[in-house]
Amino acid sequence: MKNANHSDQPSFSIRVVKEATGLTERRIRYYETLHLLAPRRTQGNQRLYTQADIDRLKYIKSLLDHGVSLKEVRAQLQQEDLIAHDRDFDDVERDAESYFQGKLIARKAEIHRDSLYPLINRHEIMRRLVRDHTSGHEDTKGDQ
DNA sequence: CTTCTGACA
DNA sequence: TGTCAGAA
């Protein structure tokens, strides 16, 4: 069941996500409690997933299938989110350069210093998986 | 009928 | 993680 929202992205029910990722509903919801993703909700509290959520879950499954622990998956996703956030920051910085240049640069530096680099390239397997993922591959191996 | 939360094996 | 109950 694919729903097109007014001005938003297409959204999918948990059943569609389950079928698209090969994950069980149990696991999909469990990963949400771990803050690995945060789908929007309908007024009736039903989860609404985006294609990005589906890709993210496939990525998570891929890492788990390759023996990466949930803890490492969480750390890896956190780093990637920070990098993405950092890219957004570059855009914002460009647009608001004449206004908050100083503060934005300071904030970016803070992000880098605190947690952007330490975990990157920590594990060779992670590096390989990240490369495969960013080059557009999807793993569909089944697991428990 | 589908999905949600909480709880227990 | 699987599965079940009770509610929405």
What are the extents of the domains in chain A? 1-57, 66-137
* Strand B-contacting residues in A 68-107, CB cut-off 7 angstroms: none
Q: What is the CATH number of domain A1-57?
A: 1.10.1660.10
- Listed by range, residues with Cβ under 7 angstroms from strand C are A 24-27, 30, 44-45, 64, 70, 143-144
The pLDDT value given to residue A34: 95
- Phi–psi pair at A10, nearest 5 degrees: -65, 145
For residue A91, give both structure tokens. Answer: 């855009």
pLDDT digits (tens, 9 = 90+) for A22-75: 999 999 999 999 999 999 999 999 999 999 999 999 999 988 888 888 988 898
State pTM to two decimals: 0.71
**Strand B, nucleotides covered by protein (CB < 7 Å):** 2-5
Q: Which nucleotides of C are covered by protein (CB under 7 A)?
A: 1-3, 8
